[in-house]
């Protein structure tokens, strides 16, 4: 039981994520979380503005159900499958973040300095969340997939476009974490 409540090691977690992909493929579907963003656009009537959104969203309803499940899973994991253990980060990471103004690194899943009430009530904080969301939503559709579609499914099926996209993910991610984030905070 204790093993279940503690954070799971990476060598258990990785294969379990592959199992999610395998199950969806077994059910005749595919593992791609960002597709739902497109479905939400279609449901809101975006088909009037671009052919990109002209589709029968009901065919994608299975994926919306996966999203609903994921939200429930997040709730179950934090409410019933967790103890008070904090994320065991590299001490260097904690020190670095501390010098950028992030306190208590690892005690929550996301930093209060970005997602807390005070942060989202400030212009800068709100702008960051909006800009970050825009980048994710725009970039993932431009690249044709996100971490689940390209990094897990695409690389598992040895597809070259996915390798290029994942290299792109890292170009952007390395730029943000190493150069841009220190300028913001």
Judged by CB under 8 A, the chain residues 17 through 46 that form the site for another protein are 17-30, 33-34, 36-38, 40-41, 44, 46
DSSP tag of 107? S
Binding mask 86-115 for another protein (x = CB under 8 A): -x-xx-xx--xx-------xx--xxx--xx
DSSP calls for 37-59:
HHHHHHHTTGGGT-GGG-S-GGG
Determine which residue in the list 56, 83, 123, 178 makes contact with another protein, applying CB under 8 A: 178
* Residue of 171, 167, 156 lying closest to 31 (CA atoms): 156
Torsion of CA 88, 10, 177, 185, to 10 degrees: -30
User: Is there binding between residue 83 and another protein (CB under 8 A)?
Assistant: no
Q: What is the closest distance, in whole angstroms, from the C-beta atom of residue 6 to another protein in the complex? A: 9
Q: Does 82 bind another protein (CB under 8 A)?
A: yes
CA 87, chain centre distance (Å): 17
Q: Which of left, alpha, beta for 96 (phi over 0: left; psi -120 to 50: alpha)?
A: alpha
Q: Figure out which of the listed residues 58, 76, 99, 122 binds another protein, where binding follows CB under 8 A.
A: 76
Count the residues of the shown chain that bind another protein, applying the rule CB under 8 A. Answer: 127
**How many CB atoms within 10 Å of residue 55?**
14
- Rule CB under 8 A: say whether 56 interacts with another protein: no
Query: Rounded CA gap, 66 and 74, in Å?
Result: 12
Work out whether 74 is an interface residue with another protein (CB under 8 A): yes
Q: Tell me if 182 contacts another protein by CB under 8 A.
A: no
* Residue nearer to another protein on the CB measure, 57 or 151: 151
Query: Contact between 185 and another protein (CB under 8 A)?
Result: no
Among 67, 11, 25, CA closest to 156: 25
Quickly count: other Cβ atoms within 10 Å of residue 149's Cβ.
21
Per CB under 8 A, 122 contacts another protein? no
Single residue of 58, 103, 122, 181 touching another protein by CB under 8 A: 181
* Residue 55 binds to another protein (criterion: CB under 8 A): no
């Amino acid at each position: 039981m204790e093993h279940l409540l503690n954070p799971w090691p990476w060598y258990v977690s990785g294969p379990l994520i592959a199992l999610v992909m395998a199950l969806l493929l077994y059910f005749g579907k595919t593992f791609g979380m960002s597709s739902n963003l497109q479905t939400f656009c279609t449901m809101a009537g975006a088909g009037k503005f671009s052919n990109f959104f002209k589709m029968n969203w009901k065919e994608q309803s299975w994926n919306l159900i996966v999203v609903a499940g994921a939200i429930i899973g997040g709730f179950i994991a934090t409410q019933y499958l967790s103890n008070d253990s904090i994320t065991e980060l590299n001490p260097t990471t904690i020190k670095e973040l501390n010098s950028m103004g992030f306190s208590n690194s690892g005690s929550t899943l996301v930093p209060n300095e970005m997602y807390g009430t005070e942060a989202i009530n400030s212009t800068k904080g709100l702008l960051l969340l909006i800009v970050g969301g825009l980048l994710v939503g725009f970039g993932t559709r431009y690249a044709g997939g996100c971490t689940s579609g390209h990094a897990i499914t695409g690389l598992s099926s040895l597809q070259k476009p996915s390798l290029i996209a994942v290299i792109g993910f890292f170009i952007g991610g390395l730029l943000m974490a190493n150069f841009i984030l220190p300028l913001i905070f």
